[in-house]
Amino acid sequence: MNERLNLYLDENIKKVELNPLTVKPKLIFFADVSENADLWTNKAVERYYNKDTVFIKNK
């Protein structure tokens, strides 16, 4: 998660390509961003962190 946060906070990176999460605790995990950059979850992260696009890399 720290790796993701560093990418989100880096103002020079506008296209954020993320690795899939390897651990998803059922108690606190609801959803992650998707490979589809057009989904609302991805768009919400883009707006919040002022990015052009955010998506999960193809596996």
**CA 34, CA 18: separation in Å to the nearest integer?**
9
Output the tens digit of pLDDT for each of the chain's 59 residues.
Answer: 789 999 999 999 999 999 998 888 887 778 889 999 999 999 999 999 999 999 999 86
The pLDDT value recorded for residue 36 is 95
Sign of CA dihedral 20, 38, 6, 13: positive
